Amino acid sequence: MRLTRYFLPVVRETPADAQIVSHKLMLRAGLIRQTAAGIYAWLPLGHRVLRNIERIVREEQDKAGAVEMLMPTIQPADLWRQSGRYDAYGPEMLRFPDRKGSEMLYGPTNEEMITQIFLGSVKSYRDLPRTLYHIQWKFRDEVRPRFGIMRGREFLMKDAYSFDLDEAGLKASYAAMFVAYLRTFARLGLQAVPVRAPTGPIGGDLSHEFHILADTGESALFYDAALEDVSRDELLAADASTIARLTGLYAMEEEEHAKVADCPVPADRLRSRRGIEVGHIFAFGTKYSESMGLSVQAADGSQVHPQMGSYGIGVSRLMGAIIEASHDDQGIVWPAAVAPFQVGLINMRADDGSCASAADEIYGRLREAGVATLYDDRDERGGAKFATMDLIGLPWQLIVGPKGLEKGVVELKRRAGGEREELSVESALARLAA
C-alpha cells in the first residue's frame, strides 16, 4: 500500500482524552477514531490489526473443533424473556422498539439465541457434542466506558457455545476451549494468566478468566509466581496436562482472594498485579437448555437437557492489551502475527528520480512476494517518515536512499530492538520474504 494513497491520520500531539498508553498510541497512530463515549470507528490501519487478531482467534477456534457461524446483532426481547434475563440484565442492555413497536435489543451476548437456534435443529444425542462460535459486535451500555477500546460500549467479541450430552462431555468441551485460549493468547504474543472466576450473572459452576498482566489493567490479581514461569512454547503446545498444571496454581481476583481464609501460596511466591481480562469461559450446565426448553433424546430414549458452556474473547480489547504489552517511547511495537503490515518501505527521496524508481521496484517485488508492505512514497523529509514508521510499529523498516544505492545497499531495520544492517536489495528481499 502506498502511503500517498492510504488513509493514515497520525497525530503528533496526544489527544487530551486518552489516559493510558495504548489508548494514546491507538489515537496517535491513526488506528481508531472516537464517535461517542465507548464507541469507536476503526480506521484502515486499526482495522487491519483487528482482522489479524480475529484471524488468529478464528484459527484456534477452528482447531479446537468449534464451528463458525454468524448471529445477528439485533435480537427480539421475547427471546430474552424465555430465559428470564430480559429483566435480570438491567440497563446495560440497549433496548429499543422497531417501527411496529416490537421490543428489540442490541445483543450483549448470545446464549439465548444460540440455544434457540440449536433447539430448532437438534433432537438427538447423536448430534452432540457441538461447539459453535461467531465473531460479532456486541453492545453493552456500560456505566462507565473508558480507556478507549478497552472498555468500549460497542466491541468485537468471539463468543462460542458448547453443547454436550453430559457433564463429562462439558468438561471436555471446556478443556478444549481452555487450550484454545492459551494457544490464542500465546500466538498473539501475550502472556495470559488463567484465574478461577466467580460465575456471576451468566450462572453455572465452573469458570475461568484470562488476564494479561499490565499496570493499566482493571482487575487486581493475586497469584502464584509460578504462573509467570510458563514458557510461550509450552503454551503454544498446550494440552490437558498444561491445564492441570495451570489451574493447580493459585490465582484469584482481589475480591475473591479477600474471601480466602488462608492462602495456599507462600508469601514469597504470592504476586499481586493488575490484569486486563481478555477472555472468560463458563461451564454453566443446563441453565439455558432448561429455561429455553432445549432437550435431546438420549440413547435410552429419555429426554436430556444438554450441558452447555460459553466462551468469550474480547477481540477488540485484545488490541489494547497487545499495545499495553508491546510498545516503547517511539510508539507501538506490533508482534509480527498481528502487525497491519510486515514492512514499512521508506523512500528517502521521493523527489530523486533514480531513488524513487529503485524504491518503486522494490515495492513491486515485495508485493509479488506477498509481503504486506506499507510504502512511504510521500515527498517528506526522512525524519518525518521514520517517526511515522516508529509510531505505527511495523516489524520491519526497509530504507531506500541515494546514499545506500551508491554503495548498492539498502538498510533493513527491525522495529523491536532497532538493529539495522545494510544489505543488497536481493538479500534484503530474501530476508523479508522468509
Partner RNA sequence: CGGGGAGUGGCGCAGCCCGGUAGCGCAUCUGCUUUGGGAGCAGAGGGUCGCAGGUUCGAAUCCUGUCUCCCCGACCA
Binding flag, residue 404, RNA (CB under 7 A): yes
Give the separation between CA 369 and CA 391, rounded to whole angstroms: 25
Toward RNA, which CB reaches closer, 48 or 415?
415
Binding flag, residue 34, RNA (CB under 7 A): yes
Binding flag, residue 58, RNA (CB under 7 A): no
Least distance to RNA from the beta carbon of 388, Å? Answer: 5
What number of chain residues touch RNA (CB under 7 A)? 68
Instruction: Out of 81, 381, 414, 431, point to the residue binding RNA (CB under 7 A).
Output: 381
Toward RNA, which CB reaches closer, 128 or 177?
177
Give the separation between CA 170 and CA 161, rounded to whole angstroms: 11
String of contacts with RNA for each residue 193-232, x by CB under 7 A:
-------xxx------xx-------xx-------------
Instruction: Find the Cα–Cα–Cα–Cα dihedral 8, 12, 13, 16, rounded to 10°.
Output: 20
Instruction: Out of 30, 38, 194, 204, point to the residue binding RNA (CB under 7 A).
Output: 38
Binding flag, residue 233, RNA (CB under 7 A): no
Residue among 206, 331, 197 nearest 277 (CA): 197
Binding flag, residue 112, RNA (CB under 7 A): no
Q: Which stretch binds RNA (CB under 7 A): 35-43, 167-175, 293-301, 335-343?
A: 35-43
Toward RNA, which CB reaches closer, 68 or 368?
68
Q: Which stretch binds RNA (CB under 7 A): 9-17, 53-61, 187-195, 332-340?
A: 9-17
Subset of 301-330 contacting RNA (CB under 7 A): 312-314, 316-317, 330
Interaction site with RNA (CB under 7 A)? 10-17, 19, 34, 36-38, 92, 140, 142-147, 150-153, 155, 157, 200-202, 209-210, 218-219, 255, 277-280, 312-314, 316-317, 330, 348-349, 351, 381-384, 386-388, 390-391, 397, 399-405, 411, 413, 420
